[in-house]
Structure 1
Amino acid sequence: MRLLHTMLRVGNLELSIQFYIEVLGMRLLRRTDFAEGRFTLAFLGYEDEASGTVLELTHNWDTEKYDLGNAYGHIAIETDDIYVRCNDVRVKGGKVVREPGPMKHGSTIIAFVEDPDGYKIEFIQK
C-alpha cells in the first residue's frame, strides 16, 4: 500500500493552481471537469502520480468559499533551504505565516505558509 493523494476543496481553482505551480513549484499533472456533477478535479505534485504522493484540488462549481474547520492541520513539504523557499514565497506574493525556526520543544527547522484558501503548508528543512 502507499499514500496516493491528499484532497483539498478550493473556492477559486485557477488561483489555487497558480499558487501551487508558481509559488510552490508543483506541476499540474491532470485536470478533469465533471459537468454533470458540477465539479473539477486537478492533481498537482512534484512527481508523477505513479512515483509520489500528490495533491488533489476539488472545485465544486457552485461553492466560492469553505469553512476550514478546526480539525485540519497542514500539508508538509521537505526543502533543502527553508530560508530561500520562504523568501521565494514572499517574492511571488505568497504569505509566510510562521518564519523559519526550530519547532517548539524540538530542533527541527520549520516554517508555515498559507495558500489562497487559508490552508497551511509546512516547510521542513531537510
Structure 2
Amino acid sequence: MNQVLVEICLRIKDLDATLDFYTNLFDFEVASHRKFPEDKFDLVYLNSPGATVQIELTYNYDSEPYTIGNGFSHLGVTVSDLEKMHEICKASAYETGELRGLSGGTPSYFFVTDPDGYRIEVKRAK
C-alpha cells in the first residue's frame, strides 16, 4: 500500500497576519480558501513551489489563542540563499534567530517564528 503525506494542519488565530507571513516573507501560494461561516471556520491550503505537502491553516472565528504543545518543535523550509533569507527575516517584524551550524560547524540554518508562535527552521538547500 502506497502512502503519501499530503498536509500539515496549523490552527491559527489571525488569518491575515499568517497569510502575510507565509505568502510575503516566504513564497507560499494560496491553493484554496474554503469558508464555512455556519460552522465559524475557514480552511486555507498553502503550496510551496516544488513541494508535495500543503500547509492547511485552520482559522476558527471565535477561538482563543492556541497553545502549541511541548511535543511540537518546528516546520522546515529550504532556501537557495540562506544568508539573504536571514537578512530578509531579520529586517521583518518576525522573531528571527541567529545563523547556526550543528556542533559549531558552518552556519546552515536559523529559526523564524510565525504570528501564531510556530517556529520555522530555514535551511540551506542542498
Gaps of 5+ in 1: none
Contact 1:24 1:89 in 2 (8 A): no
Cross-structure match for 2:116: 117
Verify: 1:29 aligned to 2:31, yes or no: yes
Q: Percent identity?
A: 27
Cross-structure match for 1:77: 77
Higher strand proportion: 1
Query: CA offsets per residue over residues 27-46 of structure 1, 9 Å max, x none?
Result: 11110111221110011122
Distance in 1 (CA, whole Å) between partners of 2:99 and 2:124 is: 9
Distance in 2 (CA, whole Å) between partners of 1:108 and 1:92 is: 21
Distance in 2 (CA, whole Å) between partners of 1:100 and 1:106 is: 11
Cross-structure match for 2:101: 102
Cross-structure match for 1:67: 67
Say if 1:89 and 1:120 are closer, same or farther in 2 by CA, change over 3 A. Answer: same
Gaps of 5+ in 2: none
Counterpart secondary structure, 1:3: coil
* TM-score computed with the length of structure 1 as normaliser: 0.87
Query: CA offsets per residue over residues 29-77 of structure 1, 9 Å max, x none?
Result: 11011122111001112238xx611111001111141111211110001
Written as runs of structure 1 = structure 2, the 5 A alignment for 1:5-20 is 5-20=7-22
Distance in 1 (CA, whole Å) between partners of 2:105 and 2:71 is: 23
* TM-score computed with the length of structure 2 as normaliser: 0.87
Contact 1:28 1:45 in 2 (8 A): yes
Distance in 2 (CA, whole Å) between partners of 1:21 and 1:13 is: 12
Q: CA RMSD in A?
A: 1.9
Alpha-carbon deviation of 1:7? 0.4
- Partner letter of residue 100 of structure 1? L
